[in-house]
Structure 1
Amino acid sequence: MDKDEMTTFLFRLPASLKEKLSKKAKEENKSVNATLQSIVDESLTKPTSSEALEKRMFLGKRVSARQFDELDGLVKVDGIYYRYLIESNQPLKLGHDYIIIEAVGNILTLRPLNNKEE
């Protein structure tokens, strides 16, 4: 298996710990998956890859509505175009801003901002 290839496995933890993890992810404007990956990565290794750099630079960053290229399905962040997914497979809402909650390769996962966050 290539070292950057993603894999999945079942992970069990107490509900109280899951709540803490969810709260931390929300506070950091990240997905639970991205938060857990960061925690595991930091505890096992010191990040040195360019992917770790992108995660540090992009996670929690606000993406304005004008940065989207709806025709090509791309978003421009810091001068570079990325593919994107909206959290929970929601459709892109034109005119809304988003927060980057995960960066895997050239794909960013975005969470729509609520009106109270705008």
Structure 2
Amino acid sequence: MSDDKKRFLLRIDQTLYDQLARDAESENRSINAHIETILQKATQGKTFERRQIVGQVIEGTQINSENGLVTVAGIYYRYLISDNSTVDTTGRYAVTDAVGNILTLQKI
């Protein structure tokens, strides 16, 4: 074990442990490495957009394909459609990522 790693005791119930063990095995990781990966992902990119915008569902009518902007929570963002399709104004989209002022949208 590297000297820059910190050890600590973590108590979790058996059901959660079993789920983590299954997930770790499916990704060919140890349970420790799997939990470390989960924690790293959870602490990355704590921008306003990641905290408040990613995961929101928006209506296609909030997307303006003419000017390339989408309105989410009263703020205008540039956007990308995950599959590069054209905007369906009758559809619904989930915000799946936020990098700077650009949101990635996926039709649901």
TM class, shorter-length: 0.5 to 0.7
TM-score, normalised with respect to structure 2? 0.58
Q: Between Structure 1 and Structure 2, which shows a larger proportion of strand residues?
A: 2
CA contact (8 A) 2:60 2:87 kept: no
Show structure 1 runs of 5+ residues with no match.
1-13, 19-35, 114-118
1:64 paired residue number? 59
TM-score, normalised with respect to structure 1? 0.54
Residues 14-93 of structure 1: matches in 2 within 5 Å? Answer: 16-17=26-27, 40-42=40-42, 46=43, 52-93=47-88
CA distance in 1, matches of 2:97, 2:53: 8
Q: CA RMSD in A?
A: 2.8
Aligned residues: 77
* Offset, 1:73: 1.1
Specify the structure having the higher radius of gyration (Cα): 2
Using CA pairs under 8 Å that are at least 6 residues apart, name the structure with larger relative contact order, 1 or 2.
Answer: 1
Show structure 2 runs of 5+ residues with no match.
1-23, 29-36
1:4 paired residue number? none
CA distance in 1, matches of 2:58, 2:82: 14
